[in-house]
Structure 1
Amino acid sequence: MSEALKLTGVSKGYNHGLPTEVKVLRGVDLSVSPGEIVALVAPSGAGKSTLLHIAGLLDTPDEGRVEIAGEDMTGVADRRRTAVRREKVGFVYQFHHLLPEFTALENIVLPQLANGTPRREAEERAHTLMGSVGVAPRADHRPAALSGGEQQRVAFCRAMANEPALLLADEPTGNLDPETSDRVFGALMTLVRETGLAALIATHNLELASRMDRQVALDQGVLSLRPAG
């Protein structure tokens, strides 16, 4: 079985008008297997968002290779990158970014319709996902009528809507109080375990990181295995 995500020798730098380039990533190697949840632990400014953007095909590395579900994305045309990103990668951010004019259910249905899924099938999957994280009774509510934890759980469902091979999450509970964060993270873990996809989750929360299968640390552009505990 192919790795859901494989990064090989990935490097990335930015100039930002400075006389010398700032290296954000330095030869990063990382694999995430189907069914595995990996914590990415990094201080602010260490490059975790850049790594996630490259892994999710939102950015390209200066050097190295990115493979999604066994497909090498090096030099691939933009149209194919967009298709792979839509079909095989789900994103969750610190803020939910739900569309305010649509209901919770519609926010989960819309990505499926864009991917060619029939409406009835899309609605059935949306109801199933919402039920698995305990927000099914809120299906007809717009985001403004949901609590922060409910909004984020709907965002998780939206990220899972097209049955991706890989879930990428950038501080998905960072905007929540500790009690809600713990509950919402549990819902995310349940979703990932039930679907068997691969997940790479960036977090500052070491307690949450300890609940994942493996931890990696990013510091000064270098990725390393983080010891348990």
Structure 2
Amino acid sequence: MSDAVMRQDTQGAILRLDGIEKGYNLGRPNEVRVLRGASVEITPGEVVALVAPSGAGKSTLLHIAGLLDSPDAGAVVIGGQDLSRAGDRSRTAARRGLVGFVYQFHHLLPEFTALENIVLPQLANAVAKPEAEARARDLLSAVGLAARLHHRPAALSGGEQQRVAFCRALANQPRLLLADEPTGNLDPATSDTVFDTLMGLVRDTGMGALIATHNPGLAARMDRTLRLEGGVLRPA
């Protein structure tokens, strides 16, 4: 791993990607190599911005970090566990317990209320319903939505929907948060408000976060910025 990308103190890193390679076959010999040895370490409490030109592979990198995809080569270590070649059951358990993911679009379940959208992933993780509901209420209150618990997504504004999505990502108390353009579909004023909410949640919990954004203003407010270009990560 490049010394420029690796943090000097690697003890206790929540996420370590080491030499990640990923390619896609479009028909031999037309393989597209998206990642060419991408490496990064993120420690608890650290918020790292990920910037990249369109098509550079940032979503692929996030999906590999979040165990939604597998690398062709390299190591994916989350919370000290090397999950690079783990089986489906182990990867699913790690996604539920260690990783929270926020997308550009909220992907809330439209037939369920804000509260229920945050309770459901906890129930899937074997949390008792009363405990799950209490945590959902606490999270929604923390993002200013205490009065909107029983509203379905269609009755919420775009910014409110994304705040619910943040709460859902944090429902199972993950150690790592991954976000792919989490404010990309919001107007600038709402984006700033929602980003402030996200940063507050991350800082309060002490998790590590890797957040992809095209917004240089938002990137500048994070602890450091990495640029993905040519399949590798470098300080921006």
C-alpha distance in 2 between matches for 1:43 and 1:152: 24
> Equivalent of 2:129, from 119, 122, 145?
119
C-alpha distance in 2 between matches for 1:131 and 1:195: 15
Query: In the alignment, is the contact (CA less than 8 A) between 2:17 and 2:40 conserved in 1?
Result: yes
Where does residue 176 of structure 2 map in the other structure?
166
> What amino acid is the match of 2:211?
I
Deviation at 1:125, TM superposition (A): 0.7
**TM-score by structure 2 length?**
0.94
C-alpha distance in 1 between matches for 2:47 and 2:193: 17
C-alpha distance in 2 between matches for 1:133 and 1:153: 7
Deviation at 1:199, TM superposition (A): 0.5
Where does residue 8 of structure 2 map in the other structure?
none
Pair 1:182 & 2:192 matched: yes
C-alpha distance in 2 between matches for 1:116 and 1:160: 15
Please list every run of 5 or more consecutive structure 1 residues that lacks an aligned counterpart in the other structure.
none
Where does residue 139 of structure 1 map in the other structure?
149
Pair 1:36 & 2:35 matched: no
C-alpha distance in 1 between matches for 2:84 and 2:185: 34
C-alpha distance in 1 between matches for 2:42 and 2:228: 15
Deviation at 1:136, TM superposition (A): 1.4
Deviation at 1:18, TM superposition (A): 5.5
> What amino acid is the match of 2:105?
F
Superposed, which structure 2 residues align to 1:1-229 within 5 Å?
Answer: 2-17=12-27, 19-226=29-236
SS at match of 1:131: helix
SS at match of 1:137: helix
C-alpha distance in 1 between matches for 2:34 and 2:126: 37
C-alpha distance in 2 between matches for 1:130 and 1:155: 10
Deviation per CA, 1:47-82, whole angstroms, max 9, x where unpaired?
Answer: 000000000001111110000100001321111011
SS at match of 1:209: helix
Please list every run of 5 or more consecutive structure 2 residues that lacks an aligned counterpart in the other structure.
1-10
C-alpha distance in 1 between matches for 2:210 and 2:54: 17
What count of residue pairs does the alignment treat as equivalent?
A: 226
> What amino acid is the match of 1:201?
I
Deviation at 1:144, TM superposition (A): 0.2
> What amino acid is the match of 1:189?
M
Where does residue 3 of structure 2 map in the other structure?
none
Deviation at 1:22, TM superposition (A): 1.0
**TM-score by structure 1 length?**
0.97
Deviation per CA, 1:120-172, whole angstroms, max 9, x where unpaired?
Answer: 11111111111111111111000000000000000000000000010000000
Deviation at 1:197, TM superposition (A): 0.5
C-alpha distance in 1 between matches for 2:156 and 2:107: 13
Where does residue 6 of structure 2 map in the other structure?
none
SS at match of 1:38: strand
